[in-house]
Amino acid sequence: MASDSSVPISHVRISPSALSADFSKLGEECEQIEKAGADRIHWDVMDGQFVPNLSMSADIIKSCRPWVTLPFEAHLMVREPDHLLKGFAEAGCDSILVHAEACVHLHRTLSAIRDLGSRAGVVLNPHTPIDVLTHVLDLIDTVLLMSVNPGFGGQSHIRSVVPKISDTRRLLDGADHPIDIEVDGGINASTIAASAAAGANIFVSGSGVFNHPDGYASAITELREIGNHARG
Ligand code: DX5
Ligand code: ZN
């Protein structure tokens, strides 16, 4: 399975969200995103329960797997996702991210993702305190902080994520292995710098990449340059 985990944590990585792609030609869109220099592809999976919207399934993601070698990350906006994890691992998702708010037995769910051979991540909604991470640090590779309320692409960035990123970076410094901090929601050339300076190193961008007037490659390059500059 492809992985970009060899990229040092100090370097910014860009993860375009396929939610903003043209669904009638998803395979081609993935190919274009890879050619444009993305580091991975972010798949937003919505169940119509945890969030008020439906999106793609593991089968849809699997159908795109042969088109690219980029790592795939599945962001599961799904209540109690345990029964679905195997499907996403088999669809070629290098990384599986679950919401703390959606998992009653978060420790068990993270263990199950690791047992399937995928990297495990915890996602926190904008209002969720970071304390929930404290006792699962040994089981996680990524913390994904939402900077919109999940469910839709194209929303405005919630800036209170910035101090939350700094707090998370301090908490993760206590872990015995490197853990990525990823930010998701309203990331574009105007919003990425503050989150990068606060300590985030992976950035999801849907509308910021797919709707950029100068095309995917310009969008990705611009985000990476601004992000790396802000990280210093
Ligand atoms: C929101 C999703 C995000 C979103 C990002 O529920 O998790 O990944 O699609 O899209 P933009 O970058 O347009 O906010
Ligand atoms: Zn997402």
Question: Could you tell me where the DSSP H helices lie in 96-215?
Answer: 106-115, 161-172, 192-198, 207-210
What pLDDT, on the 0 to 100 scale, is given for residue 3? 56
Q: Residue written as tokens 């040994």? A: 138
* Interval 169-180: pLDDT, tens: 999 998 999 999
**pLDDT tier at 193, thresholds 50, 70, 90:** very high
Map out the domains of the chain as residue ranges. Answer: 13-231
74 CB near ligand 1 (under 6 Å): no
Evaluate: CB of 212 within 6 angstroms of ligand 1.
no
Q: Is the pLDDT of residue 167 over 50?
A: yes
First to last CA, the chain: 31
Expressed in angstroms and rounded, the spacing between residue 184 Cα and the centre of ligand 1 is 6
Average pLDDT, the chain: 96
pTM as predicted: 0.97
Q: What is the pLDDT of residues 55-69, one digit of tens each?
A: 999 999 999 999 999
Angle at 195 between CA 154 and CA 106, to 5 degrees: 80
pLDDT tens for each residue of 81-138? 999 999 999 999 999 999 999 999 999 999 999 999 999 999 999 999 999 999 999 9
Give the Cα separation of 125 and 183 in Å (integer): 11
Q: How far apart are CA 140 and CA 156, in angstroms?
A: 28
* Catalytic site residue from 44, 94, 141, 180: 44
CATH architecture, domain defined by 13-231: Alpha-Beta Barrel (3.20)
The whole-number pLDDT of residue 232 equals 87
State whether residue 173 is helix, strand or coil. Answer: coil
